[in-house]
Amino acid sequence: MAEIKDPENTIILETTKGKVVIQLLPQVAPEHVARIKELAREKAYDGVVFHRVIQDFMAQTGDVEYGKKGSETFNPGRAGMGGSAKPDLKAEFSATSHVRGTCSMARSQNPNSANSQFFICFTDAPWLNKQYSVWGQVIEGMDNVDKIKRGEPVSDPDSIVSMRVAADV
């Protein structure tokens, strides 16, 4: 297992494909890291599907409104169109590159529209640099991310079983 040096800034993501450990980057995107931790601590991500997974690009999840299996608002046809009840975040674009294992916030055309959805890069994606807010880096379990079922939308998608701040586990 990867050595967790800063449990308060590490996420343990259990997926239907296995465990993924993410090092948070509060020095790069403090507001986005705070939001990810807040939603993880509320267990908002538990049961949320990977609704958009593109081969050689990324796996997107985090729609806590329409993408959470078992919730009253779960709607596979709308997964990817929702967020949380929290306000959207202001962009925190940085010089941190989108490389394999980068965790970054999804958003609409509006740069200040990130809310709860995020993606994990399968490969380097330099065209995203300075246009999306990078908040973390996978430090263990990329082999499990690689196993996530592909599709746009994904039929019978994989999901987040649980997402916790390591300090709370």
CA angle 61, 91, 142 (to 5 degrees): 35
pLDDT greater than 70 at residue 168 = yes
What pLDDT, on the 0 to 100 scale, is given for residue 161? Answer: 98
Which tokens sit at 11? 């996420």
Confidence category of residue 56, pLDDT binned at 50, 70, 90: very high
Range 11-39 average pLDDT: 98
> pTM for the whole thing?
0.98
Residues present in the chain in total: 169
Q: What is the mean pLDDT of the chain?
A: 97
Which tokens sit at 43? 């267990």
Contact assessment for residue 165 and residue 43, using Cβ atoms and an 8 Å cutoff? no
Question: What burial letters (b/e) apply to 35-52, b meaning 16+ CB within 10 Å?
Answer: bbbebbeeebbbbbbbbb
pLDDT greater than 70 at residue 1 = no
Range 136-149 average pLDDT: 98
pLDDT greater than 80 at residue 156 = yes
pLDDT tens string 75-129:
999 999 999 999 999 999 999 999 999 999 999 999 999 999 999 999 999 999 9
What pLDDT, on the 0 to 100 scale, is given for residue 3? Answer: 84
Provide CB contacts within 8 A for 103, sequence distance 6+. Answer: 22, 118, 119, 120, 134, 135, 136, 137, 138
What pLDDT, on the 0 to 100 scale, is given for residue 2? Answer: 75
pLDDT greater than 70 at residue 40 = yes
Contact assessment for residue 16 and residue 126, using Cβ atoms and an 8 Å cutoff? no
